Every structure is written in structure tokens, then in C-alpha cells.
Amino acid sequence: MTDFPWLTTLAMVPLVGALVVMAVPTTRTVHAKQVALGFSLVTLALTIAMSLQFDAGSDALFQFTEQHEWIPQFGVSYALGVDGIALVLIGLAAVLTPVCILASWHDVDPERRSVKGYFALLLLLETFMIGVFAATDVFLFYVLFEAMLIPMYFIIGSYGGAQRSYAAVKFLLYSLLGGLLMLGAVIGLYVASDGGPQAFLFENLLGTEMGTGTERLLFAGFFVAFAIKAPLWPVHTWLPDAAAESPPGGAVLLVGVLDKVGTFGMIRLCLPLFPDASQWATPVVLTLAVIGILYGALLAIGQTDMKRLIAYTSISHFGFIVLGIFAMTSQGQSGATLYMVNHGFSTAALFLIAGFLISRRGSGLIADFGGVQRVAPMLAGTFLVAGLSSLALPGLSSFVSEFLVLVGTYSRYEVAAVVATGGIILASLYILLMYQRTMTGEPTEHTSRMRDLTTREAWVVVPLVAVIIALGFFPQPLLEVINPAVDATMEQVGVSDPAPKVPAAGGGAR
């Protein structure tokens, strides 16, 4: 089955699903939802089937590769392929999409908005997400990177909260500004490349000779776009608005998967294509990352709205991911990649459970809750697990990745690692304070009749919590897939791990 176009199939199934959903008559909203869920589950099944055939020990740069000529005049190919990093992120997208569809079952008011439109947009988004992680042609990556904005823009703008139009425009303008700067850099890269009908293939661009000034300029073009996407302090200000205003399902895909394209882009494009410029920029990037870790955490503590709080925690976590990537050690980068996955799951759980709470209470303000664990223990319990994972409690998934990132950073940049550790302490503050204020104490007048998780909601939450716990205890399968890809990246950048100062202490999770 090696010739089977796995990745194209994976990307096409949700697209076909979106079209089928739009073809369902408007009055039959239930059928539209079932069709959407069905297509997303088929995608998940295909992703699992593909992952089982992935050969972690392979020497090839990419597996399941496909390549066709697209626009030879511009050197553009339709080229797909995955390494370990891309594979786990595609897996993340494939798992989260059906979960979000199920979680959003009743989120759209059929009186005011098109129900099938929402589910079609979610599926369309999945197509672009899978495509962007699988693209091995820089131009194709850019096209999907930009195209992804459109469904997300409509999800926020059409189905979001009170400030949705403001949030949607802010999201779009930030992203487009970054995207257009990246377009400038893509053009510059093309001119610097060897040209020819396959100029944009990632393999062909590796090791492109360019002047120091050009390399730094192009690196900056790409990096700013990814920093906005990720988002890194100080270009993060769109995220709290976008995440707080979008419907919970949209927020999960936005923060959980879409933003990972930023960090994925750093590790896939910025580092290998501009190795010298990356090392040149490392001190600045690390500083920004550390500021982001602390700043996001501090602002999270001060939030009064649950969804905004979760959005700020993500800014802090993205700081950790960027820190791990630019630490230029294999532990740091493996940890950062694992962190992308873990953060996706724990944030998804937090956002979705917060969404359940908000739909029950009719308000997202922390002060409007209290004593929920008395009346809805399941809801409160799963919220706590997700929260504890977010603060990196040992035994839950985020711990492994956060630990790897910090160890990886410490071996090269001790100060950055030490300061970043402060983020962990702040994390326990923002999570536990939120839990305490919403869940503990006496139930208030409004929360006293709150229902516990329904069966549908349990089907949403249980898989997420199961993954969080499973990856907390047994991250090895993922790391086995990620590590070779990270080693390849390190080789492309031309860096190696610093020799351990105490010989026996090195190794980490290897």
C-alpha cells in the first residue's frame, strides 16, 4: 500500500464531507451533524491506519510522499509527505475534529445561524490543517497557511460571541499581515533558490546559498508570520479576543491545532532553511519566549473570564514550545513537539468543559460560578484533570513535555531555563485559583441545579482525559516517532547536543 495517496485521501475526506454537509437540506440539521461526525471519524480511522504503517526507523526524510507538478513556472509542486513531527500533529487534528464536532452539537442556534454551515466550516478547516502539516513544498505550505484563515474567520465572525466581528477582523488582520510578510520572504526564497520547476520543494531548498543579510531578512519574514500565528509575545494580542469570542469548538481548533502551525513552521521551515540566521536570532527569540511564559501566566491569573484565562495560559505554553524549539537541543525540540500535542489535548479539554459550563450558566465569568463540584462532580473532576495537565502535574501528559523542554533548555541556556521554571509555579496559581472559584464552596443560586455531564458530553471528555493520562504515563510511542525527525532537523541546522557536564546524568527521555 505504499503507493496509496494517504495524505491526499486524508485531506480530501473532510473536504468531501463539507460538501456533503452543505448538500443536506437546511431543515435536517441532525443529519448534517451526523454526516459531519461520520466524515471526521472516517478521517480519524484513516489517520490511525496510516500511522500504523509509519516506519519510525526509516532513513527517508518524509514518508507517504506524493509529488505532482502544479505551477512549474513558479517552481511549485503539489508535494506531500510526513515526518514524525508532522505525523503527530496530523493525528492531533484528526482526533480533535470529531471531538469538537460532537462537543458543538447544540452550539449553533438554528433560528439565527446556518447549522450545517458551521459543521461544514469545521470540516473544511480540517482539510487545510492536515494539508498544511503534510505540505513539503514551501509554496503549497504558504497557500494552505493562508487559506486556513478563511474558514476560521467565518467560524469566529458568524458563530462567535458578542464581540465576534471585532475579534474576527483582528484575527484576520494580524494573520494576514504576518502572512503577507511571509509572502515577501517566500518570493525572496524563490529568487535565491536554484529555480527550475521544483524550486519550492523542501528538499531542494535545504542548503540554499544566500548572503547573510538575505538569510536574516528571509528568516525574519517567516519567523514574524509564525510568531503571530503561534502566538509569541508581543504579537499575541489577537488570541485572547479570538479564542474568547469563537464558539468552544472553534476555539479548540484555533488554539489547539491552528496555532501549532506557527510553531510547526518554526521547526520545519525556519530552522532548516535558515540555520545561521536561526542561531543568530536565538537570544532574541528565547528572551521573547521567556517573557511570553511569564507574561501569559501573570495575565491568566488576572482574568475574570474563563475562555480568556485559558487563552492566556496558552500564550504561556506557546512560550515553552518556542523555548524548546530554539534551545537547539534534541531534548528541547522533542519536548516542544510533544508539548504541541499535549497542549492540544489539555487545552481542548479545558475549552470544551468550560464551554459546557458556560452553556449551562449562560455566562463565562468566573465570578458567576461556585460550588459546581457538589452538583456536577463529573464535570468538575474532568475539569480538574485537564487543569492539572495544563499545569504539568507529573503523571499527566504535559509534565513530560514541559520537563523535556526545560532540561533541553538548561543544558545550553541555563538562565532562560531557570526563569522559565517560574512559569510552572504561576501555572498552578491560575489553574487552581480558577478551579477554586468556580468549583469549590457552596453552590450558588444559579449553579445549584446544574446538570452533570450528559452522555454526549461524556463521549467528548472521556477520550481527551484518557489521552491525557495515557500520554502522561507512556509518552514513549510518540517520542519514538518524533525523535528521528528532530534529529534530522538538528542535523539540517548543523547543531548537536552540548556534551553533558556530568557524563552519567545526560540522556533525559532517550
Partner 1 sequence: MNELTFETPSIEYRLLMPMLIVFGVAVLGVLIEAFMGRPWRHETQLGLAVAGLVAAFVSVVTLAGENTVAAMGSVAVDGPALFLQGTILLLAIPGVLAAGERKVDDGGVFAPAGSSMPGSQHERLLTANKVTQTEVFPLLMFAVGGMLLFPASNDLLTMFVALEVLSLPLYLLCGLARRRRLLSQEASLKYFLLGAFSSAFFLYGMALLYGYAGTVRLSGIAQAVSTNAANETLLLIGTGLLAVGLLFKVGAVPFHAWTPDVYQGAPTPITGFMAACTKVAAFGALLRVLYVGVGGLAWEWEPVVWAVAIVTMVVGSVVAVTQTDVKRLLAYSSIAHAGFVLTGVAATDTIREDGEVLGVSSVLFYLVAYGFSTIGAFAVVTLVRDSAGEATHLSQWAGLAKRSRVTALVFAFFLAAFAGIPLTSGFTGKFAVFSAAWEGGAYPLVIVGVVSSAVAAFFYFRVVVLMFFSASASDGPTVVVPSPLTTVAIALGVAVTLMLGVYPTQVLELAGLASQFVR
Contacting positions for partner 1 (CB under 8 A): 70-74, 142-144, 146-147, 149-150, 153-154, 157-158, 164-165, 168-169, 172-173, 176-177, 180-181, 183-184, 187-188, 190-191
Identity of the residue, 184 or 506, whose beta carbon is nearer to partner 1 in the bound complex: 184
Alpha-carbon distance of 346 to 344, in angstroms, equals 6
Closest approach of partner 1 to the CB of residue 159, in Å: 10
Cell numbers 552519567 label which residue? 504
Q: CA-based angle 430:476:86, to the nearest 5?
A: 80
Closer residue to partner 1 in complex, CB, 20/183 = 183
At its nearest, how many Å lie between partner 1 and the CB of residue 255? Answer: 21
Q: Quick check: 420 and 319 in contact, CB under 8 A? A: yes
Which of 509, 505, 443 minimizes the C-alpha distance to 476? 509
Q: How far is the CB of 171 from partner 1 (least distance, A)?
A: 10
Distance separating alpha carbons of residues 53 and 51, to the nearest angstrom: 5
Nearest-approach distance from CB 447 to partner 1, in angstroms: 32
**Nearest distance in Å: CB 146, partner 1:** 5
- Smallest distance from partner 1 to CB 73, Å: 4
All three cell numbers of 263, joined, read 510553531
Residue 100 Cβ vs partner 1, minimum distance, rounded to whole Å: 21
Residue 442's SS3 state is: coil
- Select 175 or 333, whichever has its Cβ closest to partner 1: 175
CA–CA separation, 193 and 209 (whole Å)? 8
Closest CA to 485 of 280, 210, 202, 242: 202
Q: How many angstroms separate the CA atoms of 287 and 408, rounded?
A: 16
| Angle 190-192-195 from CA coordinates, rounded to 5° | 55
Nearer to partner 1, 158 or 397 (CB): 158
Nearer to partner 1, 74 or 474 (CB): 74
CB-based burial label for 81 (10 Å; 0-12, 13-18, 19+): buried
In 3D, which of 173, 480, 127 has the Cα closest to residue 338? 480
Give the DSSP H/E element, type plus range, for residue 130.
helix 115-134
Grid cell 543568530 in the structure block, residue: 280
Looking at the Cβ atoms of 153 and 339, the one nearer to partner 1 is 153
Per-residue burial over 201-225, b if 16 or more Cβ lie within 10 Å, else e, is bbebbeebebeeebbbbbbbbbbbb
CA 454 to CA 465: how far, in whole Å?
Answer: 16
Nearer to partner 1, 37 or 135 (CB): 135
Output the smallest distance, CB 127 to partner 1, in A.
12
Which residue, 70 or 280, is less far from partner 1 as judged by CB? 70
Q: In the complex, what is the shortest distance from the CB of residue 330 to partner 1, in angstroms, rounded to a whole number?
A: 34
**Cβ nearer to partner 1, comparing 29 with 382:** 29
CA distance 84 to 463: 23
Residue 26's CB: how many other CB atoms inside 10 A? Answer: 12
- How many Å apart are CA 151 and CA 121, to the nearest integer? 6
Residue number, 217 or 433, with CB nearest to partner 1: 217
Minimum distance of partner 1 from residue 143's CB (angstroms): 4
Cβ distance to partner 1 smaller for residue 129 or 424: 129
Measured CA to CA, the distance from residue 309 to residue 217 in angstroms comes to 35
- Strands annotated E in 317-450: none
Least distance from C-beta 155 to partner 1, angstroms?
Answer: 12
Q: Residue 147 in contact with residue 166, Cβ under 8 Å? A: no
